[in-house]
């Protein structure tokens, strides 16, 4: 049981820096807020710092204002890294300048176990699930806004309870979070149904690139990063589009390709036959889950796309 170790470490120290991966998603946001609440509730100093900003659609969450992209100038006793398989995914460097001790809490199976304490539940649906279990172990009674953060974390990493990582355990957990005050309809509405008109316009442009390969088993969509700014949209508006690439019957693998002159990023999705986590991990810096993963190639778009198509076709 690793919880007593975590207890001891959190008790012993007084200042904590909380951070997560680039391209903030619901799980990393909700988990950071839950950890921030817990640490401050036991009288600790906690600061939340991420390379990328909080997507505006998550601004409704209580304490959303603690998210900062400004690197703190001081040191912390402990760096708590949540939902992040590898320090390189933080997007910021010189971790040892910030703290000597790292606590690593995550559910990615390719987690590099880079912490002094590693709490990695590889079969977990979300990092929010791990924190839920910790709070349950502590028999904590927490306010509705913390239940809301944990619910948002688990909801987004299960694709609103549609992905195969959704289970009875997860649904019972989320039922309990609703009993504790999480408003499931409101959270769904804020996260999935609150796009700006510019955001929807961006999505329509991405949809217009829809293409199929390999007898319809591979589906792709594309977006030059510059399009976001051109349309007055935000990065968050393109988040979630990758999930649409496996909506077609007969499609096995989907990819959303985002690119600029220097690099080409792939958000990969699979219905199960192909392990896209393995494909992503075969590219340096890439990784993820068997059904959803990501990687970046530092080569131009057309070349990168052809290369990825060949890799997927081989896996099929």
Write out the residues near Mn ion by the rule CB under 5 A.
27, 83, 126-127, 157
Q: How far apart (Å, rounded) are the C-alpha atoms in residues 81 and 142? A: 22
Minimum Å gap between C-beta 238 and Mn ion is 18
Rounded (10°) angle between helices 144-157 and 127-137:
140
Minimum Å gap between C-beta 21 and Mn ion is 9
Minimum Å gap between C-beta 127 and Mn ion is 5
The partner residues of 68 in beta bridges, in order of sequence, read 49
Closest to Mn ion by CB, 220 or 267: 267
Closest to Mn ion by CB, 21 or 305: 21
Neighbours of 316 (CB within 10 A): 12
Closest to Mn ion by CB, 10 or 126: 126
Q: How far apart (Å, rounded) are the C-alpha atoms in residues 12 and 247? A: 49
Closest to Mn ion by CB, 126 or 170: 126
Residue nearest to Mn ion (CB): 27
Closest to Mn ion by CB, 131 or 228: 131
E-strand ranges in 167-231 read 211-213, 218-224
Minimum Å gap between C-beta 34 and Mn ion is 13
Minimum Å gap between C-beta 45 and Mn ion is 26
CA atoms within 13 A on the CB side of 59: 7
Q: How far apart (Å, rounded) are the C-alpha atoms in residues 17 and 20? A: 10
Q: How far apart (Å, rounded) are the C-alpha atoms in residues 148 and 143? A: 9
């Amino acid at each position: 049981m690793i919880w007593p170790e975590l207890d001891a470490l959190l008790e012993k120290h007084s200042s904590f820096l909380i951070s997560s991966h680039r391209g903030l998603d619901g799980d990393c946001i909700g988990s950071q807020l839950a950890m921030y609440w817990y640490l401050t509730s036991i009288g600790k100093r906690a600061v939340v710092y991420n390379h990328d900003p909080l997507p505006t659609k998550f601004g409704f969450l209580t304490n959303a204002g603690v998210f900062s992209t400004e690197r703190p100038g001081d040191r912390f006793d402990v760096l708590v890294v949540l939902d992040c398989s590898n320090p390189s995914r933080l997007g910021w460097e010189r971790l040892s300048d910030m703290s000597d001790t790292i606590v690593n809490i995550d559910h990615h199976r390719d987690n590099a176990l880079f912490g002094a304490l590693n709490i990695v539940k590889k079969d977990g649906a979300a990092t929010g699930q791990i924190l839920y279990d910790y709070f349950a172990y502590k028999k904590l009674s927490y306010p509705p806004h913390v239940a809301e953060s944990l619910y948002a974390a688990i909801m987004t990493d299960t694709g609103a309870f549609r992905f195969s990582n959704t289970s009875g355990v997860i649904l019972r957990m989320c039922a309990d979070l609703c009993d504790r005050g999480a408003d499931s309809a409101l959270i769904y509405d804020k996260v999935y149904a609150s796009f700006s008109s510019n955001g929807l316009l961006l999505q329509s442009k991405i949809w217009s690139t829809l293409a199929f390969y390999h007898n319809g088993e591979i589906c792709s969509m594309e977006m030059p990063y510059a399009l976001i700014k051109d349309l007055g949209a935000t990065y968050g508006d393109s988040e979630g589009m990758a999930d649409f690439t496996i909506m077609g019957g007969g499609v096995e693998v989907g990819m959303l390709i985002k690119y600029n002159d220097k690099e080409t990023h792939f958000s990969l999705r699979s219905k199960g036959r192909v392990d896209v986590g393995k494909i992503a991990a075969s590219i340096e810096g890439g990784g993820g889950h068997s059904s959803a993963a990501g990687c970046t190639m530092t080569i131009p778009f057309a070349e990168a796309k052809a290369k990825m198509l060949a890799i997927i076709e081989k896996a099929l």
